[in-house]
């Protein structure tokens, strides 16, 4: 059997939706045993859609390699079982409503008192304290509060990011925070409470537009699929499709002019002498190069870009992504089990000297009896 980094680590997760399940699935990928505690009706992400042969796409993505245990936390029996699970855990992760775990008596202070070596991770919308502490938080709302929509979209209309980016950001910081706390515990023997808020997690990712606006006097413009502060950088029409081009520096700009659009004279134009001026004069620049690119086939353009070692990409659909030749060549797909049969799933992106754990997606309550018999003395 593969020796994985988190083999032997037990995680108990009071999780729902995206942020906490994303964090714990990364832990499971590394070998941790993740016991997912659900209510009788299950994690509500189970009902988000029915696209995967009747299962929700969100749930399939986030919950492989976990054990599902159903507990009624409103009953003394269920709460006692949860406390015994926590007493035997290495890690607890929770993203219930603000104050919910404290009202149940299984908050960080109570849990660490019983299990001092515990790493207890809380994920919330806005964190503890402050006027937003009890405010409901969902991904789109955090995208708004962190200013992401102000820099995403077109000049006319802001647009949300098409994935749950605030949840994912919070989940990733919880994941890395848990690993850090486990590393510290290996030296000190003691656990701790780590807290991650969705606002602060996504806020960290907003560092570039923040500094640009705070010290530049104006925010980055919303420029659709083009880059707000680099030009040319974005989608360009060819005669039979679209190519995305990313010019990173003046050397690449020179090669682009000479080898791609065959206009070396553009490098002498003072309006395009450096990136700041190319952005300032973006309209004139694109009016010059777009007709050239539109006269060429997409393959001709990408061949020229590749020859000039200039980054480029094809706009792919999800069907195209599923058939991506690079992922296929690198063997990045596996079959995992589920209550609805085998499902094709992407291998985790971290490649080490271990095989990632990719067990099945659990049915609701599938592991309740076995897990409680193991952890709970009165079962």
What is the rounded distance in angstroms from the CA atom of residue 304 to the CA atom of residue 245?
11
What is the rounded distance in angstroms from the CA atom of residue 272 to the CA atom of residue 266?
7
Could you tell me the CA-to-CA distances from 293 to 152, 236, 287, 300, 332 in Å, in that order?
26, 7, 11, 9, 34
Query: How many CB atoms are closer than 10 A to CB 367?
Result: 17
Q: Which residues contact 189 (CB under 8 A, 6 or more apart)?
A: 117
DSSP E strands in the chain: the ranges are 10-14, 33-38, 66-70, 91-94, 119-124, 192-197, 233-238, 241-246, 311-314, 333-336, 343-346
Alpha helices in 233-355 (DSSP H): 250-255, 275-280, 282-294, 298-307, 318-322, 325-329
The answer to whether 227 is a known catalytic residue is yes
Could you tell me the CA-to-CA distances from 183 to 189, 217, 257, 262 in Å, in that order?
10, 42, 51, 55
What is the rounded distance in angstroms from the CA atom of residue 10 to the CA atom of residue 260?
55
Prior bond to 138 cis, omega within 30?
no
Of 264, 263, 259, give the one whose Cα is nearest residue 302. Answer: 259
Q: End-to-end CA distance of the chain, in Å?
A: 31
Marked catalytic residue, from 77, 193, 208, 227: 227
Token readout for 132 is: 């937003």
Residues taking part in catalysis: 227
């Amino acid at each position: 059997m593969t020796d994985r980094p988190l083999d032997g680590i037990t995680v108990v997760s009071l999780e729902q939706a995206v942020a906490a399940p994303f964090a714990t699935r990364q832990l499971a990928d590394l070998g941790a045993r993740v016991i997912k505690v659900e209510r009788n009706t299950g994690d509500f992400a189970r009902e988000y859609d029915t696209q995967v042969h009747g299962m929700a796409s969100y749930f399939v993505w986030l919950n492989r390699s976990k054990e599902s245990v159903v507990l009624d936390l409103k009953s003394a029996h269920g709460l006692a079982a949860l406390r015994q699970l926590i007493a035997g855990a290495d890690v607890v992760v929770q993203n219930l409503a603000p104050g919910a775990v404290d009202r149940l008596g299984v908050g960080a202070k109570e849990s660490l008192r019983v299990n001092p070596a515990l790493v207890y991770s809380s994920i919330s919308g806005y964190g503890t304290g402050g006027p937003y502490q009890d405010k409901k938080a969902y991904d789109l709302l955090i995208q708004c509060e962190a200013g992401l929509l102000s820099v995403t979209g077109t000049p006319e209309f802001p647009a949300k990011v098409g994935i749950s980016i605030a949840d994912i950001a919070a989940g990733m910081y919880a994941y890395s925070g848990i690993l850090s706390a486990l590393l510290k515990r290996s030296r000190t023997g003691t656990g701790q409470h780590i807290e991650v808020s969705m606002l602060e997690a996504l806020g960290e990712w907003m560092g570039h537009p923040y500094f640009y606006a705070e010290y530049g006097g104006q925010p980055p413009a919303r420029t659709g699929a083009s880059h707000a502060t680099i030009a040319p950088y974005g989608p360009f029409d060819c005669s039979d499709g679209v190519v995305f081009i990313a010019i990173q520096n003046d050397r690449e700009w020179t090669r682009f002019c000479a080898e791609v659009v065959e206009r070396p004279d553009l490098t002498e134009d003072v309006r395009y002498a450096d990136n700041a001026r190319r952005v300032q004069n973006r309209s004139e620049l694109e009016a010059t190069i777009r007709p050239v690119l539109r006269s060429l086939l997409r393959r001709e353009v990408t061949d020229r870009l590749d020859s000039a070692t200039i980054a480029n990409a094809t706009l792919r659909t999800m069907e195209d992504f599923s058939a991506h030749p690079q992922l296929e060549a690198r063997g990045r797909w596996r079959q995992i089990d589920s209550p609805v049969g085998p499902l094709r799933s992407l291998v985790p992106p971290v490649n080490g000297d271990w095989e990632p754990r990719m067990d099945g997606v659990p049915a609701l309550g599938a592991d309740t009896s076995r897990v409680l018999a193991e952890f709970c003395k009165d079962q």
